[in-house]
Amino acid sequence: MITLNHYLALASILFCIGIYGVLTRRNAISVLMSIELMFNAANINFIAFSKFITPVFLTGQVFAVFVITIAAAEATVALAIVILIYRHHKEINVDKINFLKW
Amino acid sequence: MNYRLLFPELFLFLWIIFIFVLDFFWDKEKTNYLGWFSLLGLGITIALVFGSGTGRLFGGMFLADSFSFYFKLVFLSASFLAILSSIDFVKKIEKYRGEYFGLILLSTLGMMFLCSAGELITLYIALELTTIPLFVLSAYLKKDFRSAEAGIKYVILGAISSAILIYGISIIYGLTGMTDLGLIQFSLAQQHLRFGPFGPALIFGIIFFIAGFGFKLALVPFHMWAPDVYEGAPTPITAFLSVASKGAGLAAFIRIFFVSFNVYQPDWVMIVAVLASLGMIFGNIVALLQTNIKRMLAYSSIAQIGYIMIGVVAFSWRGISALSFYVFAYLFANMGAFISAITFSNVTGSDEIEDYAGLSRSSPGLALFMAVFLLSLVGIPPLAGFVAKYYIFASAIEKGHIGIVVIAILTSVVALYYYAGVIKKMYFHKSEKEVNFSIPFSLKLALFICLLGVLIAGLFPTPFIDLATKAAQVFKYW
Amino acid sequence: MLASSWLIPLLPLVAFAFIVFFTNKRPKLSSYLSVGAVCGSFVLSVPVLFEVLKNPITSEFKFTWIDLQGFTIQMGILIDPLTAVMLMVVTIVSMLVHIYSIGYMAGDPRFSRYFSFLSLFTFAMLGLVLANNFFEIFIFWELVGLTSYLLIGFWFEKKVAADAGKKAFITTRTGDLGFLVGIFLLVSAAGTFNFNQIFHQIEAGSISTGILTVSAILIFAGAVGKSAQFPLHVWLPDAMEGPTPVSALIHAATMVAAGVYLVARTMTLFAASSSAGLIVAIIGAFTAFLAASIGLVQNDIKRVLAYSTISQLGYMMLALGLVGLTAGTFHLMTHAFFKALLFLGAGSVIHAMHTNDIWKMGGLFPKMKITAITFIIASLSISGIFPFSGFWSKDEIFAVAAEYHPIFLLVAIIVAFMTAFYMFRLCFVTFFGKPRDKHKFDHAHESPKVMTIPLMILAFLSIFAGWLGIPWLAKGYSSFVFFHHPHHAEPKIWLMLISTIVALSGIGLAYLIYYKGSISAEKLKEKFSFPYKLLFNKYYFDELYQAIIINPIMGFANFLFKFDLGIIDWLVNAFGNFTLFISNVKEWFDTNIVDGAVNGIAWIFKKACTGLRQIQTGYLSNYILVIFFGILLIILFKIA
């Protein structure tokens, strides 16, 4: 039997993988993908809570749909800016972009 | 349902579409008028805000009360000033000038929804509506690699903080089963009564909220994006970011923490107090070493948010009133300082403090404006900053938070040093090169509006404080 | 009529703004604006005086300036007989000084600026006089200090002038600190800034005597600074480095009068705490004696006058400390006129001779009749000769002193003797005898009308202003300005006689030494060489302050500077080397352990060492790390 706790554990593991990816990856695209993982961890939470805590209402599921939409919008903008970066620097390693500092 | 409440937002939304369409059809020469069109739209929106009244819509998803009224005025004024100061600036941009204005308005629309949101889904969407246009705007100077760098840093950090926030929201939703702010408070209070204090889950949730909003507010240690983005982004956008975007985050922060997490106030006030103190110390000290005016103002705004959060730490209606007034005073002073910097860099092409030497001779008016805005940021009477600081300190002392006020006063002294450094440069140093200053009308107007704001709010603060107090009365839980 | 008296200070302010923004390039126009504004203030003050004369009650007009929901700051004006008198004194003297300045400052390259400062100064003083609460009076108090700094240091190319400006500012600030603390103390006890409300509470006895005494003494500290009382008197003699009309204004009607006015205004405070009052009286008496004795031997005409001002202010403080509001303010008024006259007269002499040293003057009487006559009138007045104004006001003070304790009377009489002596020493040396500097003498000439007419008006006032307070008068000054109830001292004929004899003998002695030469000044100098040196060097106050205050501070600053050089530089270098070392280590890390998180942490630690600023590395991954690290710390902080 898969309980709420299983879902929550999955979500938190996914969230931590996302954090790990965000911290270790240097490629901007990989960082964005890791961020998607973090969003999806939250989505799993929403769906699970919706199913187990408020089975009558669909609040959590609606929320998840919105989060997916927003994440998509965010990713679009981010990718556009990554392309912009690529045009300037001819690479997308985030650690090579540090003109602005101190 | 009283849809009148939604009129300002609806109108602004239609106006934005109108602007985008115009931009699409007009040729390049005419797009200059789009700025003035946007200002017209904002003016009408302000009038509509005044006429829209108060109430609840969609079962509490959208709240129009005196608090949202106050902050909407702040956002609309900030947006107005940002667009006004951009009209001359956009001539540097080759393509898509109309979109630039449209995006500022879109972000403003998000802020208006944000401070009216009574429920987490609305709040989250409004937050993203506020932020995503700003990502685009900060990378708007496509030829400038610094702008692109600002954009990538802002968007990645923004997305991460957004992910953290949404994870926090999911935890809170899981604990209560609710998304309505008021009902969350109710549910948390009930569970607290029945089962005793919550375990770590709630604390995680609250901390994730603080991190998510801390990013918007540039609270230490979630401030890292601020200096880089402020420096790289187009200056009008920097000004807008530093005032409106912060104000929006603050409004949402107050709604959530003073309503939903009201019961758990001891748990989070301490965190906020520590972060605010760190912000004041870090921001002011690092600002000392800056050579770029935008970067200096960025660090100073990190410090300023520390002062603003003192009002949150006070946790009283007077605290909210004080911080609302502070935001108002800060709006004009900070916008004014940035607009002076825009004016200066439009003429000289430089943002370096070094180049401000002798400004009092080449353009006495601009130097005086800049000096007044900086002095207001320090909190010198009779400018608005003084009353704001005094009021916010008083609200904290009233609740016995002496420590944070002492830190605030000490760091203010540090702040005086670097603000005065700029003034000294302008007035007591000679410049090597002669520059001819001709300031375009739009910037002059913007500077005058800011000056009036700083002076009026400093000399006759009572009506504004009354408004702020009325806004604070929305949260009378104690 | 009274309600519109807020216009009185406003006019000079408008003139100031106008000159600064519009007429800076047109000196003539600027001076007319400035003079016009102060004349306007004077014209507006006259009906106020009559209104108050008709109906001598206290009226107050106020509005709320800042309302912070529970704590309000009000601004307003307070008009009572004292205010009305002060308004007259300030506007008359500053009007005459303004007019006189047109002649005196003619041709100065910063003519417009001078008049704008003068207007600002007048504005500040009038605002101070009209203030109805401590907050407001403090603002104007500081404004007076600031403008005096600007005016004293007006010729800032001269180092002495710039130094004098700084000295005045810093010395008075020392007293202001006490004033500010005193205000806070009193206001926190009373819960309001408003004068009347505070005084009502004091009289109702709802403020403890301890707080009253301490705050009274602290407020008096402010007055000590502004009114140049011992031990903060050192700035005033130096303040003469400013243009002479400014000295006249500072010494007569504005700056130094502010301190006396403050004590008079807060009389209730000093009346309620007898020990504070006694301290005021003792400091006043001591200052009067000290300054008068220094004045005996000074050679600079303005310096003598400066010490005489200090000593006369001591008189006023003495009277006020013994709750003689009438006597103190009466003397303030008469003194304002004759001291302004003395300074303007001295200015006229300096204008003609281009020197301040009295031993280079002499025999000027025939050449500068008007100046000389008016100067002598003022000297007679300050010496207290019947029937000049000084006689009547000094007599009031004697009466107050005699009522309290004979020792005060004794000091007052000795001071009166010294005053008469040094004033006439000045007169005889300057205006009579043989010209000592032939070259300068030949160039001397009477000053233009614009300068002499104010002298004549002031001479008139120096004679007759005191007649308002003739004790036999049924409706004189004492029935107008008083504390609680009119204090009509019985005219004491014997006191008047004593004071006249003392003054005459002082004049006589000066006559013998400096006119007839029957007693040799040189011989006296040799005989009393030690006291002479002591007096000539002003009791070595400046040197003393240099040794015990300035030198230690500079020494400490020097020490800090050395510390900076030695220790801090060493630390910085150490950090630098350390960073270098760490960055070598980091390279090793980079090449050996390809692990981002560890990498990032190493980065953070390295950067944290080189100062907070270095946290902002510019690397996105570090920013992300800081965010998560922050969250982690907060979580640990909360859970633990």
In a domain, A94, yes or no: no
In a domain, A101, yes or no: no
State the average pLDDT over residues C421-446: 75
Contacts C624 to B, Cβ<8 Å: 156-157, 160
- Write the residue in A23, A100, A101 that is nearest to C596 by C-beta: A23
- C-alpha dist (Å) from residue C636 to A15, B218, B229, B265, C639: 19, 21, 30, 18, 5
User: C601: Cβ–Cβ under 8 A, 6 or more apart, which residues?
Assistant: C625
φ/ψ bin of B59: left (φ > 0), alpha (ψ from -120 to 50), beta (otherwise)? left
Specify the higher pLDDT residue, B271 or C449: B271
Find the CATH number of the domain harbouring A56: 1.10.287.3510
Helices (H), C131-208: 134-152, 159-190, 195-204
pLDDT digits (tens, 9 = 90+) for C515-574: 776 666 666 666 666 666 666 666 666 666 666 666 666 666 566 555 555 565 666 666
Q: How many CA atoms lie within 13 A of B470 on its CB side?
A: 13
pLDDT at C603 over 70: no
Q: How confident is the model at residue C602 (pLDDT cuts 50, 70, 90)?
A: very low
The answer to whether the CB atoms of B160 and C639 lie below 8 A apart is: no
pLDDT at C479 over 80: no
pLDDT at C491 over 90: no
Nearest CA distance, B83 vs chain C (angstrom): 29
Helices (H), B218-287: 225-232, 235-240, 246-255, 265-287
A23 touches chain C (CB under 8 A): yes
Q: Which domain holds residue A43?
A: 4-89
Confidence (pLDDT) at C604: 47
Specify the higher pLDDT residue, C157 or B159: B159
> Interior CA angle at B163 toward B157 and B164, to 5°?
90
pLDDT digits (tens, 9 = 90+) for B103-124: 999 999 999 999 999 899 999 9
Helix (H) / strand (E) element for B163: namely helix B145-176
* Contacts of C272-277 spanning 24+ positions with Cβ under 8 A: C272/C202, C272/C203, C272/C209, C272/C212, C272/C216, C273/C209, C273/C212, C273/C213, C273/C216, C275/C213, C276/C212, C276/C213, C276/C216, C276/C217, C276/C220, C277/C216, C277/C321, C277/C322, C277/C323
List residues in chain B touching C: CB distance below 8 A.
152-153, 156-157, 160-161, 164, 200, 203-204, 207-208, 210-211, 215, 220-222, 224-225, 227-228, 267, 271, 274, 282, 285-286, 289, 318, 321, 387, 390-391, 394, 460-462, 465-466, 469
Q: Where are the beta strands (DSSP E) in C45-129?
A: 59-67, 72-79
pLDDT digits (tens, 9 = 90+) for C262-308: 888 888 888 887 788 888 888 888 888 888 887 777 778 888 888 88
Give the C-alpha separation, B222 to B224, whole Å. Answer: 6
In a domain, A102, yes or no: no
In a domain, A27, yes or no: yes
- Write the residue in C64, C65, C68 that is nearest to B394 by C-beta: C68
Confidence (pLDDT) at C288: 84
CB crowding C578-602: b at 16 or more within 10 Å, else e: ebeebeeebeebeeeeeebeebbeb
Mean pLDDT of chain A: 89
Mean pLDDT of chain B: 88
Confidence (pLDDT) at C530: 64
Number of domains in chain A: 1
pLDDT at B320 over 50: yes
What's at B407, amino acid-wise?
A: I
Token pair, residue B169, equals 């929201």
CB B266: neighbour CB atoms within 10 A? 8
- Say if CB C9 and CB C48 are below 8 A apart: no
Specify the higher pLDDT residue, C474 or B357: B357
Confidence (pLDDT) at B160: 93
Token pair, residue B383, equals 């400018």
In a domain, A96, yes or no: no
Q: Provide, rounded to the nearest whole percent, the portion of chain C with pLDDT above 90.
A: 0
Q: Provide, rounded to the nearest whole percent, the portion of chain B with pLDDT above 70.
A: 98
Q: How far is CA C155 from the centre of its chain?
A: 19
Confidence (pLDDT) at C547: 63
Contacts A88 to B, Cβ<8 Å: 145, 148
In a domain, A39, yes or no: yes
- Phi, psi at B103, each rounded to 5°: -70, -40
Confidence (pLDDT) at B11: 93
- C-alpha dist (Å) from residue B236 to B127, B149, C95, C352: 20, 17, 51, 62
pLDDT digits (tens, 9 = 90+) for C360-402: 777 777 777 778 888 888 888 888 777 788 888 888 888 878 7
In a domain, A23, yes or no: yes
Q: In which residue are the tokens 């005889």 written?
A: C428
In a domain, A95, yes or no: no
Q: Report which DSSP code applies to C133.
A: B
Domain ranges of chain B: 264-478
Q: In which residue are the tokens 């007989």 written?
A: C81
Contacts B174 to A, Cβ<8 Å: 8, 45, 48-49, 53
Specify the higher pLDDT residue, C595 or C12: C12
- Among the ranges given (B3-12, B292-301, C441-450), the one the predictor scored with the smallest mean pLDDT: C441-450
Q: C424: closest CA among C358, C360, C367, C469?
A: C358
- Write the residue in B204, B222, B469 that is nearest to C627 by C-beta: B222
Interface test with chain B among A46, A66, A84, by most B beta carbons within 10 Å: A84
User: B435: Cβ–Cβ under 8 A, 6 or more apart, which residues?
Assistant: B347, B348, B362, B363
Nearest CA distance, C621 vs chain B (angstrom): 9
Give the C-alpha separation, B108 to B130, whole Å. Answer: 7
pLDDT digits (tens, 9 = 90+) for C319-336: 888 877 788 888 888 888
pLDDT at C596 over 60: no
Confidence (pLDDT) at B273: 92
Give the C-alpha separation, C441 to C355, whole Å. Answer: 11
Mapping DSSP to helix (H, G, I), strand (E, B) and coil, where does residue B429 land?
coil
Neighbours of chain C (3+ CB pairs under 8 A): A, B
Confidence (pLDDT) at C563: 55
Contacts B469 to C, Cβ<8 Å: 69
Residues written for chain B = 478
Confidence (pLDDT) at C610: 47
- C-alpha dist (Å) from residue C533 to C229, C306, C405, C537: 22, 19, 32, 6
Q: How confident is the model at residue C620 (pLDDT cuts 50, 70, 90)?
A: confident
Confidence (pLDDT) at B105: 94
Q: Is B13 exposed, middle or buried (0-12, 13-18, 19+ CB in 10 A)?
A: middle
Q: How confident is the model at residue B72 (pLDDT cuts 50, 70, 90)?
A: very high
pLDDT at C606 over 50: no
Q: How confident is the model at residue C255 (pLDDT cuts 50, 70, 90)?
A: confident
Contacts B267 to C, Cβ<8 Å: 638
pLDDT digits (tens, 9 = 90+) for B437-450: 788 888 889 999 99
- Among the ranges given (A19-33, B256-270, C228-242), the one the predictor scored with the smallest mean pLDDT: C228-242
Nearest CA distance, C614 vs chain B (angstrom): 9
Q: How confident is the model at residue B35 (pLDDT cuts 50, 70, 90)?
A: confident
- Among the ranges given (B11-25, C132-146, C528-542), the one the predictor scored with the smallest mean pLDDT: C528-542
User: A29: Cβ–Cβ under 8 A, 6 or more apart, which residues?
Assistant: A79, A82, A92
